[in-house]
Amino acid sequence: MTTIGNNIQGVLDRIARACAACGRDPSSVRLIAVSKTFDAGAVREAVRAGQRAFGENYLQEGVQKIAALQAVEAAGPLEWHCIGPVQSNKTRLVAEHFDWVHTVDRLKTAERLSQQRPPHRPPLEVCIQVNVDGGPTKAGVTPAQALELARDVALLPRLRLRGLMGIPDPAPDFAAQYAVHAQARSLFNQLRAAGLEGMDDFDTLSLGMTADLEAAIHAGSTLVRVGSGVFGGRSYPLSPPPLTDSV
């Protein structure tokens, strides 16, 4: 097994142990392997190890990998998650190429995704990004704004509102990590209990990364986004790859 394959197994073992510790079924938590800055060859190694869902932050880079990896989809389609910021004038890349987008925090962005989603593709799976802990460097709506945005997004055609996503600021220990993720879970429960039209599939909490996935799982996360834990440390470019779109 390759190093990436070993890493994936290690992350799956962590997920299983965390689920056992809080009485959850490991199948209730899915791993999204965050492949940003790693090339298509690294993703192929992960696919050979059984991984099928990948997260990308840089849209143009992600689209290039999606195209490069179409040939490995004979065993079933790969699933591509946009987990980076989506500017309104870059929505076409997401709408045309990705299966999920976790970072919707404005109605304008959601409307453009809805308008630009090709009719031959299934609805785009959408999570609303919430800045639960008020981190000054983090995107996302405030908890107070989440209900109104969810109500509007849920009614848009060609989108399927699935849940909430959060990226809290780093916390020093398990208890502090859990406390923030638990706030996201509480908000998720509030929105689901509201019974809004178009929210029949509202079942997803995208919380937790390499450093805090255990706390996120204890709080109820259903998708954990793990990059360095799968692919190793990454070297960032001096500036993100250029984002292009033809509107």
Residue 237's pLDDT is 57
Residue 246's pLDDT is 33
Mean pLDDT calculated for residue range 158-173: 95
The confidence band for 247, taking pLDDT boundaries of 50, 70 and 90, is: very low
Residue 163's pLDDT is 98
Residue 75's pLDDT is 64
d(C-alpha 20, C-alpha 222), whole Å: 14
Residue 243's pLDDT is 42
Residue 137's pLDDT is 74
Report long-range pairs for 16-19 (Cβ below 8 Å, ≥24 apart): 17/214, 18/213, 18/214, 18/217, 18/218, 19/217
Residue 4's pLDDT is 97
Residue 236's pLDDT is 55
> Cα dist. 25→21, 185, 204, 221, 223 in Å?
10, 17, 15, 12, 13
Residue 74's pLDDT is 55
Residue 235's pLDDT is 66
Which burial class, exposed, middle or buried, applies to 107 when counting CB atoms under 10 A from its CB (0-12, 13-18, 19+)?
Answer: middle
Delineate the domains of the chain, giving CATH numbers in brackets: 52-211+225-231 (3.20.20.10)
DSSP string, 72-120: GGGGS--EEEE-S---GGGHHHHHHH-SEEEEE--HHHHHHHHHHS-TT
> At what angle are helices 40-48 and 59-68 packed, to 10 degrees?
60
Tens digit of pLDDT for each residue in 115-133? 999 999 999 999 999 999 8
pLDDT at 242 over 70: no
As given in the structure block, the two tokens for residue 199 are 């929210």
- Least-confidence region, from 9-23, 124-138, 206-220: 124-138
As given in the structure block, the two tokens for residue 220 are 């109820």
